[in-house]
Amino acid sequence: MEEQTRFRLSKQRKVILEELRKVTTHPTADEVYDMVRKIMPRISLGTVYRNLEFLCSQGLARKVGPAGAQKRFDGNATPHAHIRCRVCHRVADVPVHLEAPMLAPEDCMGFEIEECNIEFEGICPDCQRKTC
Amino acid sequence: MEEQTRFRLSKQRKVILEELRKVTTHPTADEVYDMVRKIMPRISLGTVYRNLEFLCSQGLARKVGPAGAQKRFDGNATPHAHIRCRVCHRVADVPVHLEAPMLAPEDCMGFEIEECNIEFEGICPDCQRKTC
DNA sequence: TTGATTGCAAACTATTTGCAGAAAG
DNA sequence: CTTTCTGCAAATAGTTTGCAATCAA
């Protein structure tokens, strides 16, 4: 009854993961493409996208920042925490004030920090019902 | 020497802000478009985008989640905090472990929470130099 | 052998922009 | 009046997808 998919370790997939692991720069897909192309000049951007997606689905890599392509807007301009649904990408306000963690100056990597965004991720009531 | 721009309060701008303030749903640009079109059927999507951008620049609204259009990928799959540059959108790892804040069950709005992302926002050393 | 994976190109989605005319101040 | 702002449509940016060929197991 279970549909067990078999994964293969193509050269492309191997190199993409290796290159991604070499850096801590959190590259975009086209930056990964550039990195990998130095080793495999004929790789396609589509393959890079497919494999990054695959690696994330396997827990071998992560997307930085929230899922969902579209930007969302908040008429409440005072900073506050959000909860985002993993499934439908809906965003709700956290109804309590959370103290933003402070970073010691030596942990700021030279950044001039202006604010801290706290975003919980989970599954909203509606989507919990649908997923059974 | 200062170039002082004068802003106008067009009907469109007024309605967009009013509608955005009526809801706590954190709508996408096209959801705002739908809301506003019920009042001004001839408004264009471009105007909605331009005004949302404008309202954010004036501090009257906010974008939810990080700036920068492209997704970024992290070869380090263990959850950890990030710092993102407001100017160049570069992302760095926070070098210390931060305890994720806990949310009391009654503050979860029915969401089943799976994780918490902490992202600082600021200006990276390179961009500080350029901005003078 | 066979089904997952690739390269390629076209399609798609979200957002931005140029321009001529409308309207706020 | 002047200059910002709008509607429209076309352009751009980022990502996804269909397909025939290729390749890992």
Domain boundaries, chain A: 1-76, 79-132
Chain D footprint bases within 7 A of protein beta carbons? 3-10, 13-18, 23-25
Contact residues, chain A, for B129 at CB < 8 Å: none
B56 annotated binding-site participant:
no
Examine the pLDDT at A21 and tell me if it is beyond 90: yes
The C-alpha of B2 sits at a distance from chain A's nearest C-alpha, in angstroms, of 25
Task: Give the β-pairing of B112-123 and A112-123.
Answer: antiparallel
Question: Which CATH architecture is the domain A79-132 placed in?
Answer: 2-Layer Sandwich (3.30)
Contact residues, chain A, for B76 at CB < 8 Å: 21, 24, 62
**pLDDT averaged over every residue in chain B:** 93
Give the one of A61, A96, A119 whose C-beta lies nearest to B75's C-beta. A61
Residue at shortest CA–C1' distance from D25:
A8
pLDDT at site A5: 67
At residue A57, the 3 state secondary structure works out as helix
Q: Which fold has domain B1-76?
A: Arc Repressor Mutant, subunit A (1.10.10)
Domains B1-76 and B79-132 share a fold: no
Question: How many CA atoms, within 13 angstroms, populate the side-chain half-sphere of residue B60?
Answer: 14
Contact by Cβ (8 Å): A90, A98: no
Q: pTM for the whole thing?
A: 0.90
pLDDT at site A131: 59
**Span A63-90, mean pLDDT?**
92
A54 touches strand D (CB under 7 A): no
